[in-house]
Amino acid sequence: IVPEAEAILDKEFPVLDKGFVRLVDYFGGDQRIVQSARVSYGEGTKTVSQDGALIDYLLRHQHTSPFEQVVMTFHVKMPIFVARQWVRHRTGRMNEVSGRYSLMKDEFYVPEADKVSPQSKDNKQGRCDEAFDAEKANQIISTLKEGQESAYNNYSSLIDEGLAREVARINLPLSLYTEFYWEMDLHNLFHFLKLRLDSHAQYEIRVYAEILLEICKKVAPMAT
């Protein structure tokens, strides 16, 4: 039991305009790491400083298997285009809401005006650091909202006409919010964070990674 982690279980941490991250469950913490490294159980006679030094040694020398002993399960809500980047980390285990079984909610991601930027000239997969001026940005946001509203109205109409949910959903845009449970061990979560906290990562996934990092600090503060 890690008291700091217990205190945030099932607490929603808001992300973007409608998303969130929740820590649903966790297995182990710093003590699990050091116990695994020492191949022992129980508290033993080691001090906190010794535990911290051991964890630091393991990290520096890339002895990763003890960190795999710590596992966290999250409930996350995010736009589909963020989720498609997320699942590139194939070491995670996930179960996502299904548009075949459920009616999709009228919830779409709309960026803030200061996040509406032109294509970068030197980064083929990213945006410029500077946003459009406020008038141009608001015009683009209005266009995004109109497209989302039109797509969802068409989806709802097709559902009302009796079309199967699995077919009616196919024109819904990537800005639609989805939800899933995601489980990952601490070693692979560190790799996720290394990539998704980088300044080159897309802003919309980076803000989720920032929340995950703060949660990791509650579960395994010495390792994080």
What the block records as the tokens of 95 is 């179960």
pLDDT at 46: 67
CA distances to 20, 124, 130, 172, 199 from 127, in Å: 24, 8, 8, 24, 12
Q: Which of 223, 179, 160 is nearest to 26 (CA)?
A: 223
pLDDT per position as a tens digit, 39-52: 855 555 567 778 89
pLDDT of residue 121: 87
Give the model's pLDDT for residue 217.
97
The answer to whether 24 touches 9, Cβ cutoff 8 Å, is yes
Look at residue 209 in the predicted model and tell me its pLDDT.
98
- For residue 23, count other CB atoms closer than 10 A to its CB: 22
Residues of the chain with pLDDT under 70: 40-46
Which listed residue (22, 32, 169, 196) is catalytic?
Answer: 196
Specify the pLDDT at position 50: 87
d(CA 199, CA 221): 23
Q: Which two tokens stand for residue 73?
A: 């399960």
Question: Looking at the chain, which runs of residues are DSSP E strands?
Answer: 13-15, 19-27, 71-79, 93-96, 177-185
Q: Which pLDDT does position 47 carry in this prediction? A: 73
Q: Rounded distance, CA 64 to CA 56, Å? A: 11
5, two tokens? 């982690």
- Provide the token pair at 205: 């996934």
Contacts of 159 (CB under 8 A, 6+ apart): 103, 165, 168
Judged on CB neighbours under 10 Å (0-12, 13-18, 19+), 116 is buried
Tokens of residue 78, six digits: 């995010």
State which amino acid sits at residue 57: Y
Q: What is the dihedral of CA 71, 73, 79, 81, to 10 degrees?
A: 30
- What pLDDT, on the 0 to 100 scale, is given for residue 203? 96
The b/e string for 173-197 (b: 16+ C-beta within 10 A; e otherwise) is bebbbbbbbbbbbbbbbbebbeebe
Integer Cα distance of 176 and 72 in angstroms: 26
pLDDT of residue 40: 58
Q: What is the per-residue pLDDT for 87? A: 93
38 carries an active-site annotation: no
